Chains A and B, each alone.
Chain A
Amino acid sequence: MTVFSLSKALNEGMRKAMEDDSKVLIMGEDVGKLGGVFRVTDGLQKDFGEDRVIDTPLAESGIVGTAIGLALRGYRPVCEIQFDGFVFPAADQIITQLAKMPMRSLGAIRLPVVVRIPCGGGIGAVEHHSESPEAYFTHTAGLRVVACSNPADAYTMIQQAIRSDDPVIFFEPKRRYWEKADVDTTSTDWWTPLDKGNVVRPGTDATLIAYGPMVKTCLEAATAAEDDGRSLEVIDLRSLNPLDAPLVMDSARRTGRVVVVHEAPVNSGFGAELAARITEQCFYSLESPVLRVGGFSTPYPPSKLEEHYLPDLDRVLDAVDRAFGY
């Protein structure tokens, strides 16, 4: 066992992937000498050289567009988008090219490109540095969309994403970058497949579904709920597309109450898709409607207000209370 921060776990995962496959490249803004603004690529350029860890010009469409070209030549680029709110200049390349080119080619083309996006709020940042844009990408066929929540998953999921022959949008919970945990780097036996979720805390009375930064919040909420005599199950989805539907539906049927938690606005958020599908598939098992806790239908607020905007333990428990009120 080695203790890694989430950031270091990603770093070690990428290092492993680069050692295993000489076609793996890192590219992005400030990923070289600086090691990225969150130091996720720290030391990689020193060890793998400027041809494999590429400091790019400051243009996100260029990063993803040239990564596609490199993938067409047989490379496996891992792009870093510096902050969530900066991904939109690359949205055209992601949505119209990266996601669709394999189908356009009738399967002749594979685009093993990973787009890493530090996401979410909670670090007191200025505008455009705290967003949760996952629903834009889960809506786009052809992409895999995943989110890690802890160092162990960060270490394994980044390696699995790099190995994927499908393009992967890889969300990293930036406020959890510094959180540490034991990671077993000696064996792969414990790895969860990239497209599967995990029950990270079993329970019987209600299910909390989260991913990325909200998993920890939900675990804390479940611990607090114990005091009220409620046993909450917590699911870390890990993969949003594809969704591990059997895991979700099984839990929903067992507990009968589901609360989905994400930082992104509730309106048209990924929770809406979950609520609809759970309702369709588990209607007769549900004791209450699927409830959603998330950001408001507003732009992300100034950081002095973000603690009100972001779902926290109390807002999650409030939703649990409401679920029990039906």
Chain B
Amino acid sequence: MTVDASRGAEAPPELVQLLTPEGERVEHPDYDIDLGPEEVRSLYRDLVLVRRIDLEAVALQRQGELGIWASLLGQEAAQIGSGRALTDADMAFPTYREHGVAWCRDVDPVKLLGLFRGVNHGGWDPREHNFHLYTIVIGSQTLHAVGYAMGIQRDDATAAAIAYFGDGATSQGDVNESFIWASVFNAPIVFFCQNNQWAISEPLEKQTRIPLYRRASGFGFPGIRVDGNDVFACLAVTRQALKNAREGQGPTLIEAFTYRMGAHTTTDDPTRYRVASELEAWKLKDPIERVKSYLFKNELADQEFFDSVEAEADRLGADLRRRCLAMPDPGPLDIFDHVYTGPHPLIDEERAQFATYLEGFER
């Protein structure tokens, strides 16, 4: 059976855009943003540095230093724009690809590498950064985010939660349940969906017959589609949605329309399922190039600035490589740590037995 996937999608969705791929600033009646030169340069720096972190991580995986890596290439603007919209009191719930948001929350990038190197399952304290651990099962974290938002309500605090997920996750029951919960409890949450067009090998048409942002109306809250490669628009739209959430106006679904320029992870081969011309088309919408053009055209930055950011990226990359390799391997008895908050007779027994077993090799 052939299904016309465009059925139901007849209305061309409006895309909030404030910066064109050519670096032209455009106005939007509902979502404008006033950014000074310093702020734009700062966003540019963020974009370049997180792309470099990503590039280094891919290289480290290729060199056998990481087991796997999930690249954010192409999604820098969606992550930096939304990440920089957060206040310290807001709480972010990422997938496993939110390296850019992690950067905005001051999580040391080497801690992200630890997970993919197999040193641990998540090496940062979520409370310290208000950035939850990476969640690998698709969509589970959206419910955690809504529950957390319900806690914010009960604390009468001025804060919001933001839940990150992808286009594939929108098919998960948990994500749909989280929409229902957020709606009926009017929870202070922003659902930030990075629609990067691909769930590993499955194109968007396998997940939906309508634009994803329109799903929100069925759940009873606003949905909006933003140019996910436009850091200005992502910042403006997320900032407004978070403000609405904090002010008691409930949830918003943001669909950041973007593109996964790399593979799903380093184990994936996109040439098996998508054509090269698609990538070439999206390269013209690169999230970093348009900010660079904007800065150049408006004489907000000179070559010295761009060179200094490149130099900083080089230093960051070198530092990351060095510290990744220096990361100590966990000890075998670490297996038994933190399973429970206190002593547990079976865990303790197995730890002791395994320690004795290991000692047998040393004699």
Residues of A near B154 (CB, < 8 A) are: 51, 73, 75
CA distance A104 to B126 in the complex (A): 11
Q: Is the CB of B147 within 8 A of A68?
A: yes
Which of these, B126, B146, B178, contacts A109 with CB under 8 Å? Answer: B126
The size class of the interface chain B forms with chain A is 35 or more
Decide yes or no: A68 and B144 within 8 Å by CB, A108-B126, A243-B346 being known contacts.
Answer: yes
Q: Does B341 contact A (CB under 8 A)?
A: yes
The answer to whether B148 and A72 touch across the interface, beta carbons within 8 angstroms, is yes
A61 with B174, Cβ < 8 A, contacts A68-B147, A75-B151, A105-B133 known: yes
Evaluate whether A72 and B151 lie within 8 angstroms (CB atoms) in the complex, with A59-B177, A59-B180 already known: yes
Q: Which one of A29-37, A90-98, A296-304 is at the B interface?
A: A90-98
How many Å lie between the Cα of A201 and that of B6 in the bound state?
Answer: 70
CB of A272 within 8 Å of the partner chain: no
Asked whether A224 is an interface residue with its Cβ less than 8 Å from the other chain, the reply is no
A217 contacts partner chain B, Cβ-Cβ < 8 Å:
no
Inter-chain CA distance A112–B79, complex, in Å, is 31
B120:A57 contact, CB within 8 angstroms: no
**B148 and A73: CB pair below 8 A?**
yes
Instruction: Tell which of B132, B340, B346 has the most Cβ of chain A within 10 Å.
Output: B340
Please indicate which of the listed interface residues B121, B135, B146, B148 has the most CB atoms of chain A within 10 Å of its own CB.
B148
Q: Is A102 an interface residue (CB 8 A)?
A: yes
Instruction: Please name the residue on chain A nearest to B154 by beta carbon.
Output: A51
B345 touches A243 (CB 8 A): yes
Verify B345–A165 contact, CB threshold 8 A.
Answer: no
Is B150 interfacial (CB-CB < 8 Å)? yes
Given A108-B126, A108-B127, A243-B346, check contact A61 B338 (CB 8 Å): no
A96 to chain B minimum Cβ distance, whole angstroms, is 5
Chain A residue at minimum C-beta to C-beta distance from B187: A66
Report the minimum CB–CB distance from A184 to chain B (whole Å): 27
A96 and B140 contact, CB distance less than 8 A: yes
Contacting residue for B140 out of A51, A59, A89, A97, CB 8 A:
A97
Chain A residue contacts of B145, Cβ below 8 A: 69
- Per-residue CB contact flags for chain B residues 10-42 toward chain A (1 = under 8 Å, else 0) read 000000000000000000000000000000000
CB distance from B200 to the nearest CB of A (A): 19
Instruction: Output the nearest chain B residue to A68 by Cβ-Cβ distance.
Output: B144
CB distance from B98 to the nearest CB of A (A): 16
A62 CA / B140 CA spacing, docked (Å): 10
Tell whether A105 pairs with B147 under 8 Å between CB atoms, given A73-B152, A142-B339, A242-B345: no
**Chain A residues near B338 (CB-CB < 8 A):** 102-103, 105-107
Assembled-state Cα–Cα distance A72/B145 (Å): 9
CA distance A141 to B346 in the complex (A): 10
Interface check A245, CB cutoff 8 A: yes
Which residues of chain A in 34-61 are interfacial with respect to chain B, using CB atoms and an 8 Å cutoff? Answer: 51, 56-57, 59, 61
Question: Given the complex, which residues of A lie within 8 Å of B174, measured CB to CB?
Answer: 61-62, 65, 92-93
Name A residues whose Cβ lies closer than 8 Å to a Cβ of B: 51, 56-57, 59, 61-62, 64-75, 77, 89, 92-93, 96-97, 100-110, 141-142, 144, 165-166, 195, 241-243, 245
Show 7 residue pairs from A and B whose CB-CB distance is below 8 angstroms, ordered by the A residue.
A61-B173, A65-B146, A69-B145, A73-B150, A102-B341, A142-B339, A166-B341
